[in-house]
Structure 1
Amino acid sequence: MSRLILFNKPHGVLCQFTDRGTQGSKRPTLSDFIAIPDVYPAGRLDRDSEGLLLLTDDGRLQARIAEPRFKMPKTYLVQVEGDVAEDSLDQLRKGVRLKDGMTRPAEVERIEDPDLWPRDPPVRYRKSVPDCWLKLTIREGRNRQVRRMTAAVDHPTLRLVRWSIGDWSVDGLSLGEWREISVP
């Protein structure tokens, strides 16, 4: 039986158990929240992103979750700058050109502002610049891909929350909270 940890990662937390950085101050890591031996992240979530991070003790499961060849869907709630028009959504649905090549098509739709936990620090509010929320699903996992995709259609990401990976979701988990489930 494999162990799988669903963790609601706060903004600013590194996706590793120790801070190997050269900075003088210690940055928050997974060990500040999870004290379970022999589990490792299945994929990454940038320090400035928040939401679902999966950890497991099973190398095969870790590969199935993290490796792009398995095309496991990852869904994000994305606050972007500007009022996103349908043509920008269509570009994301077809795939956009990034420096490392074309992305696979994304599933994307505009959504109402989600009822999320407050972010610390909060996203900077600008009265003169509108923003909106997208629900975006990708099936690959390039470095900072969602941020680069929204920037490619002229709508920089302001806040990025990974909501689900496959059938696993952060729904019901408070910020910084984790839950263990068994996977056969």
Structure 2
Amino acid sequence: MARLILFNKPFDVLSQFTDRGTQTTRRTLSDFIDVPGVYPAGRLDRDSEGLMLLTDDGRLQARIADPRYKLGKTYLAQVEGTIGDEALTALSRGVVLNDGPTRPAKAIAIDDPALWPRDPPVRFRKTVPDSWLQLTIHEGRNRQVRRMTAAVGHPTLRLVRKAIGEWTLGDLAPGEWREVRV
């Protein structure tokens, strides 16, 4: 039976088990998960937080990571400025990035979510408001959510992945993981 691990990746952690090619030591998955034979099914940027899936099954890993299977990835994004209907409509239709147009996404404005504090905290500026949105995408380009919000005039300040398909972060605290049945 395939193993599947849900992990809440903290901010400033690489989504791989080793840190190659740097002079400084950065935290990696191996600082949190000591399970032999599992590998990430997809990536999450070092400066992003939230749900990562790890498995020991190559087919399951491909099914989770491959956009062909259209597994939705849901993110909570704190953005600069007050997100309005025009920006939400643009995100919902898909925006044009430097590597081509994105697929349509589901984008809604939300109240500040109940999340753990980030360390270090997001920079607060009295003169620039911020707001939150929930964005579900069905592809996985490099830094896609950040590039999409920037394209509609709202750079991302904090990004937390909440769900991948049917799997959700639930009550996992940063750095915690649990194994689930596939």
Q: TM-score, normalised by structure 1?
A: 0.98
Structure 2 counterpart of 1:149:
148
Structure 1 counterpart of 2:52:
53
Structure 2 counterpart of 1:83:
82
Q: CA deviation at 1:68?
A: 0.9
Q: Which amino acid aligns with 1:134?
A: L
| Structure 1 runs not aligned, ≥5 long | none
Deviations 1:40-94 (A, max 9, x none): 0000000000000000000010011001111100000000000111011000011
Distance 1:68 1:160 in 2: 20
Q: CA RMSD in A?
A: 0.6
Structure 2 counterpart of 1:30:
29
Q: Which amino acid aligns with 1:100?
A: D
Distance 1:152 1:123 in 2: 21
Deviations 1:10-41 (A, max 9, x none): 0000011111032x221000000000000000
Structure 2 counterpart of 1:114:
113
- Identity fraction in percent: 71
Distance 1:120 1:182 in 2: 32
Distance 2:21 2:156 in 1: 25
Q: Which amino acid aligns with 1:20?
A: R
Aligned length: 182
1:2 aligns with 2:10: no
Structure 1 counterpart of 2:170:
171
